[in-house]
């Protein structure tokens, strides 16, 4: 499956992909840990409304991490393997590691506190 840019999808398909991408972003970034919705924390995923979750947490995500996640989401949607993705976009994806470190620290502390670093 390949995307050929805008204009080749119906509005419904675009909406569907948009929702899927937002959901994947939430997953990659472990937003459930930050967004404060009990439904998200319970299921350890953004089960509530990805728009809400992204609006809540999105601004705290550094731009390079955001780019990394977009790259990862696209690679996944295109069915690329992790190795293929790293071969093509290693430099773009690397900042994601910083975020993962942060997530692990917060998880270790057992509470969500974005301001702590
Ligand atoms: Zn959430």
What are 5-57's pLDDT values in tens digits? 556 789 998 888 888 888 888 889 998 888 878 888 888 888 767 888 888 88
Q: Residue 66: which residues within 8 A CB-CB, separation 6 or more?
A: 58
Contact 46, 32 (CB under 8 A): yes
> In angstroms, what is the span from residue 4 Cα to ligand 1's centroid?
31
> In angstroms, what is the span from residue 88 Cα to ligand 1's centroid?
30
Confidence (pLDDT) at 22? 86
- Name the domain count of the chain: 1
The answer as to whether 56 is a domain residue is: yes
Of 57 and 113, which is predicted with more confidence? 57
Confidence (pLDDT) at 58? 86
**Residue 107 confidence class, pLDDT cut points 50, 70, 90:** confident
Contact 27, 19 (CB under 8 A): no
Q: Which domain holds residue 75?
A: 17-109
Confidence (pLDDT) at 17? 85
The answer as to whether 36 is a domain residue is: yes
> In angstroms, what is the span from residue 104 Cα to ligand 1's centroid?
17
């Amino acid at each position: 499956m390949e995307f050929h840019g805008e204009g080749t999808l119906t509005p419904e398909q675009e909406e569907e992909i948009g929702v899927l991408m937002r959901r994947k972003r939430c997953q990659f970034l472990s937003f459930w840990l930050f967004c404060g919705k009990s439904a998200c924390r319970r299921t350890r995923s953004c089960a509530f409304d990805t728009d809400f979750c992204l609006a809540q947490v999105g601004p705290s995500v550094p731009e390079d991490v955001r780019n990394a996640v977009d790259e990862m989401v696209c690679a996944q949607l295109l069915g690329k393997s992790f190795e293929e993705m790293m071969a093509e976009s290693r430099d773009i994806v690397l900042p994601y590691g910083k975020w993962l470190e942060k997530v692990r620290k917060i998880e270790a502390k057992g509470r969500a506190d974005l301001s702590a670093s």
